Amino acid sequence: MTETTKKTYRKDQAAIDKLDRMQFAVTQNDATERPFSGKYWDHKEEGLYVDIVSGEPLFTSLDKFDSHCGWPSFTKPVQTGHIVEKRDVSHGMIRTEVRSTHGDSHLGHVFDDGPAPTGLRYCINSASLRFIPKDKLEEEGYGDYWHLFATP
């Protein structure tokens, strides 16, 4: 068993206590940051995006694309088991909310207007994410994800 598969993800009160105002509003109160205001909307470094509350792996830079919407957008999660989709009828719209499975953090929404191969656009608030650069994956306990970035 590897370090990553031994890892336990859960809603971590110590992590919640360290959140800034926007991170708390987004992850705990289902808020949305303004477009083009989050730190990852135009981020291009290779690595893994994890839930800022639980640490569970959510998305990789390999599946990130510029959707011109002002939020980080991804075509798919790194592991479907770390994402929960829920019907959201707030603000007079019908959407699909995306939450982290173990941290129960509000992440954003998923739409069916993304590029191939999935046709999906996971539109995610930067405030809900922590980025792990690919050269820090092992050090941060995410070594099992290094293979995703290895060049053939």
Token pair for 149: 């970035």
- In this structure, the number of other CB atoms found within 10 A of the CB of residue 16 comes to 17
Token pair for 16: 């919640």
CB 128 within 8 A of CB 52: yes
DSSP state of 40: T
The catalytic residue among 26, 123, 127, 137 is 123
Q: Is 123 an annotated catalytic residue?
A: yes
DSSP state of 33: P
CB 60 within 8 A of CB 50: no
Query: Which residues are the active-site residues?
Result: 123
